[in-house]
Amino acid sequence: MVLRLSFVFGVAILASAAHAQMPPPSVGVIELQTQTVPRTLVEPGRAIASAEVAIRPRVGGTVTEILYQPGETVEAGDPLFRIDPATYEADLRAAEADLASAQASVREAEAAFGRSEQLLGTGTSQAQLDTARSALEQARAALQSATVARDLAQMDLDRTTVTSPIQGVAGFATISAGDLVAANQADALATVTQLDPIDVEIYAPSSRILSLIEDVSSERVVVAEEITATLTLETGRTFDASGEMIASSQSVSETTGARATRFRFENPRHVLLPGMFVRSEVTLGSTDAIVVPQSATERASTGELTAWVVVDGTAERRTLQEQGVYEHGWIITDGVGAGEMLAVDGLANLSPGIEVQTVPVALDENGVVQDLRDEASAEAEQE
């Protein structure tokens, strides 16, 4: 029993001695530096049609033809529906006859007025001349009225062919050939939607907008001459076009507290459709900041972002304030400073206050740690 206890104590002493002689854990570090990075906002958005028109008839009658296929692209002025023109053709002929009669009356009144002028004082009194002048003016007024009536009849006849006022994609018809329609009815015959280009409304919290305004005022952010946005679709794929800002709302939503900004995107393949939700990244300008690799940070369930720095050979956990993403890193506004050593490798062995041995490393374009000692050894062997 005594021998057994002696053995246990001996093993414990040897373990303690070995632990005391273990060197501090090695940690790969990089030196943080300030760099110029894009100032971006990552916000949700929703696609909306840049133009959408409900097609309604401007004359009444029976629809005789539907002249398009649903889903096809139509140009401005392309015919969509045809309404029976027989009544309007007859109205036009009647208006043209009235116009011809009015033109004849004007010619007759002009001739009568001319004769009265020539005979004034030799067989025609001033009163007769005034009557002839009045008759001529009435004839000319009747001619103008007849001309307007003819033009209106022609317009009504032209409107029996219902055309698209814009370029876009024509939707399903809500009526069939043979249906009776009325002028300016409430129900649309179809809808034409412009999909190329298409607009996207992006919603940013007013608090974030105010923060940006403060950064611009204090010259922490340099605003770009042209503000652009890129989109990520619901599938996670990046939309292959960037949009330009065209307008910003001058009010804040009372329900969401967000302000809407509208961007316009080229959409030749109609990938974006009205109503789709997207995630947008808006490039507002540039700012000087510290970029911390995402692989070197940890996000708690509360949303708190932390990282490890090495100060005088010991590890410290820092809480970071970020305002966006640049390449493979977080854009940090508070928590670390230029010149500090950030731990990026060997993080599993760290705890607050632990002594560590730092190893300079680098990150490649994919954010993967590269040991500078290995690179130096390889270069030495090549020499």
Following DSSP, what letter does each residue of 190-211 receive, concatenated? EEEEEEEEEEEEEEEEHHHHHH
What is the spatial distance between Cα 220 and Cα 287, in angstroms, rounded to a whole number? 6
Task: Determine what percent of the chain is predicted with pLDDT higher than 90.
Answer: 50
| Distance of alpha carbon 102 from alpha carbon 39, whole angstroms | 72
141 vs 382 pLDDT, higher one: 141
Average pLDDT over residues 370-377: 57
Instruction: Enumerate the domain spans of the chain.
Output: 26-35+289-382, 39-50+196-288, 61-83+160-187, 85-159
Q: Examine the pLDDT at 293 and tell me if it is beyond 80.
A: yes
Architecture of domain 85-159: Orthogonal Bundle (1.10)
Query: How does pLDDT run across 71-90, given as a tens digit for each residue?
Result: 999 999 999 999 999 999 99
What is the reported pTM? 0.66
| pLDDT tens digits for range 234-292 | 999 999 888 888 888 888 888 888 888 899 999 999 999 999 999 998 888 888 889 99
SS3 track for the chain: CHHHHHHHHHHHHHHHHHHHHCCCCEEEEEECCEEEEEEEEEEEEEEEEEEEEEECCCCCEEEEEECCCCCCEECCCCEEEEECCHHHHHHHHHHHHHHHHHHHHHHHHHHHHHHHHHHECCCECHHHHHHHHHHHHHHHHHHHHHHHHHHHHHHHHHCCEEECCCCEEECCCCCCCCCEECCCCCCCCEEEEEEEEEEEEEEEEHHHHHHHHHHHHCCCEEEEEEEEEEEECCCCCECCCCEEEEEECCCCCCCCCEEEEEEEECCCCCCCCCCCEEEEEEEEEEEEEEEEEHHHEEECCCCCEEEEEEECCEEEEEEEEEEEEECCEEEEEECCCCCCEEEEECHHHCCCCCECEEEEEEECCCCCEEEHHHHHHHHHHHC
The CA angle 246-279-277, to the nearest 5 degrees, is 85
Please state, in angstroms and rounded to a whole number, the distance separating the CA atoms of residues 40 and 282: 5
What is d(CA 66, CA 53) in angstroms, rounded to the nearest whole number? 17
Closest to 175 measured CA to CA, from 62, 304, 72: 62
Encode pLDDT of 170-223 as tens digits: 999 999 999 999 999 999 999 999 999 999 999 888 887 787 778 778 777 888
Lowest average pLDDT, out of 39-43, 240-244, 340-344, 355-359, goes to 39-43
Cα–Cα distance list, 14 to 2, 7, 123, 126 (Å): 18, 11, 150, 143
Tens digits of residue pLDDT in 26-55 = 889 999 998 888 888 888 999 999 999 999
**CATH label, 39-50+196-288, candidates 3.40.50.12780, 2.40.30.170, 3.40.50.300, 3.10.20.30:** 2.40.30.170
Residue at 94: amino acid letter: A
| Tokens at 357, concatenated | 């041995």
% pLDDT > 70, the chain: 90
Q: What is the pLDDT of residue 329?
A: 86
Whether 380 has a pLDDT exceeding 50, the answer reads no
pLDDT at 370 over 80: no
The per-residue pLDDT for 376 is 45
Can you tell me whether residue 243 is helix, strand or coil? strand
Core vs surface per residue 112-122: b (16+ CB within 10 A) or e: bbeebeeeeee
Rounded Cα distance, 190 and 32, in Å = 60
Structure token digits, residue 331:
């854009």
pLDDT at 162: 97
pLDDT of 3 > 50? The answer is no
Predicted pLDDT at 5: 47
Residue 9 in this model has a pLDDT that exceeds 70? no
pLDDT of residue 253: 84
Q: Copy the structure tokens of residue 7.
A: 């053995």
Q: Domain 61-83+160-187: give its CATH architecture.
A: Beta Barrel (2.40)
pLDDT tier, 6 (very low <50, low <70, confident <90, very high otherwise): low
CB 339 within 8 A of CB 31: yes
Q: Lowest mean pLDDT of 2-16, 63-77, 106-120, name the range.
A: 2-16
For the 26-35+289-382 domain, the top CATH level (class) is mainly beta
Pairwise pLDDT comparison (146 vs 371), residue with the higher score: 146
pLDDT at 373: 56
Mean pLDDT of the chain: 86
Q: pLDDT band at 2, cuts 50/70/90?
A: very low
Pair 352, 315: CB distance under 8 Å: yes
All residues at 6 or more sequence positions from 278 whose CB lies less than 8 Å from its CB, including other chains:
44, 45, 46, 47, 200, 231, 232, 233, 234, 239, 272
Identify the residue with better confidence: 361 or 211: 361
Asked whether 71 and 54 are in contact (CB, 8 A), the reply is no
The pLDDT value given to residue 95? 96
pLDDT beyond 80 at 12: no
pLDDT grade for 164, boundaries at 50, 70 and 90: very high
